[in-house]
Amino acid sequence: MLSSPATPPGAILIGYPMVVVGGGMFFRARMVVLVTSVSMLSYIVLLVVNPYMLTNRFQHAVFLVILACMGICGLHQVRRFRMLSN
């Protein structure tokens, strides 16, 4: 699916934010950090393996920052929920 530039990887890119948000469903701060880190790292590996995707580097940087912000927000919500439950 990712081997040619003719097929854009849109469906795969939607999965990264979903995984980051899904990591918060376990209500564990370490899980959110782990899932966010692995998602960002796997996106970078995707870019390295498919160099044709590197035409617009700013777009990829924005996507990585969005993933990091979603992880930070999820981490904040997990900590807040745990604090309120105590």
Is the pLDDT at 86 greater than 70? The verdict is: yes
pLDDT band of residue 4 (cuts 50, 70, 90) is: low
CA–CA dist 14, 9 (Å, integer): 9
Total-model pTM = 0.84
Is the pLDDT at 2 greater than 90? The verdict is: no
CA–CA dist 67, 1 (Å, integer): 23
* Residue-range domain boundaries for the chain: 17-85
Name the residue with tokens 């795969």: 12
Q: In this predicted model, what pLDDT tens digit does every residue of 12-27 receive, in sequence order?
A: 788 899 999 999 898 9
**Average pLDDT of span 51-59:** 81
Q: In this predicted model, what pLDDT tens digit does every residue of 27-37 receive, in sequence order?
A: 999 999 999 99
Task: Give the tokens for residue 73.
Answer: 């927000």
Q: What CA–CA distances, in Å, run from 36 to 50, 66, 67, 83?
A: 21, 11, 7, 22
